[in-house]
Amino acid sequence: MYRSRGRSRNRGMLYVLAFHVASEFCQLDRKPPVTAGLIAANTLVYLRPGVLDDLLPSLDEVCFHPYLVLKNKDLKRLFLSAFYHLDESHLVYNMLSLLWKGIQLERMMGSTEFASMVAVLLGLSHGIVVVTAKVLATFFDYPYPLTSECAVGFSAVLFALEVVLNSSSPNLTNVYGGVVVPARYASWAELLLIQTFVPGVSVIGHLSGIFAGILYLRFRRFFSRSNPLPPIIRKLTWIIGWPLRFFQGQFIGYRRPTFGHGTVGGRVPGAARNVNAVWRCPRCTFDNNIYLDTCEMCGTRHGDVDFSVLARRFSPSAPAGSSDYLSLEELRRLRLERFNV
């Protein structure tokens, strides 16, 4: 999180970001959509291509100023400031950090839980900044963070994500390739190094990110079952994805996930469009092609079995010598004959 000092722009480092994102995502079987969306959103806000330049507010209108947030109840500064960056190096550094942390957390937690966590950490870290600035100005006669700082950047959330990622890790880690510390203390080491060697950063913003991560972990232990955000996000995702599912069901004729021969759950959109449709023999449970009238395993005709007989078959009191009952030995013999073993 940088204090706003104006904005410079060049294009060289964006190619580095694009290369790293492409190389990382190409190696993944399952792409993390929330991480990709966050990187894309931050990059688009910085580049402001085409009509976005007219739609998006300027950096001065959204930079995180605690005094203006309190005085004007300006919530857009509380949330939108995280997606703005001063220059290309600021953007690329934060997005590379988000790429590394986001991929790991989203794969471990799932996209919905990860999205809800990012939303909570964003509001929590920036809220802590406002409270801290107000306390410093009121009780310690230090008004600078409240009245003079106007910060932007995703750094506070990144520090919180690092706390969550390393919270239970017993390993050691390198901070900036040289300082080896226990992983759970990596965020504190990074905070000290950044404040020492990088001028113009907001120490309160970064520190609030660390505290937000710690508080999130504490709250999660006690309120994990009452967190309302994941169900809301799942519902929104379902609503947004409805047109795609409708198109897919009408024109593509998709199959639900299958295990073995059968289709698990739901309808099959037309037998003529799905040559892999099956019917399961109620006597031996073998899955046969929908175009076969007779079970390949036991010879039972499709639709000939009385379900009342099946109910007796699976009943604990079913007689072992019943003619409609296939013993394990008979089923084994039929399968051996079927496969010519």
- Give the HSE-up count for residue 169: Cα atoms under 13 Å, Cβ half-sphere: 18
Beta bridge partners of 263: 258
For the record, the structure tokens of 153 come out as 């950047």
306 — alpha (psi -120 to 50), left (phi > 0) or beta?
beta
Angle, helices 203-223 vs 111-139, to 10°: value is 130
Helices (H), the chain: 12-26, 33-47, 52-55, 59-62, 66-72, 75-80, 88-109, 111-139, 144-147, 155-165, 186-197, 203-223, 229-240, 242-247, 307-313, 328-338
Active-site residue flag, 167: no
3-state DSSP assignment of residue 85 = coil
Whether residue 206 lies in the annotated active site:
yes
Which residues does 130 contact at the CB level (< 8 Å), separation at least 6? Answer: 66, 69, 70, 78
Q: Which of 4, 155, 187, 208 is catalytic?
A: 155
What residues have CB less than 8 Å from 294, skipping those under 6 apart? 300, 301, 302
Catalytic residue of the set 65, 90, 126, 206: 206
- Bridging pattern class, strands 258-259 and 172-175: unpaired
Q: Residue 107: which region, alpha, beta or left (left: phi > 0; alpha: psi -120 to 50)?
A: alpha
Q: What are the catalytic residues?
A: 155, 206
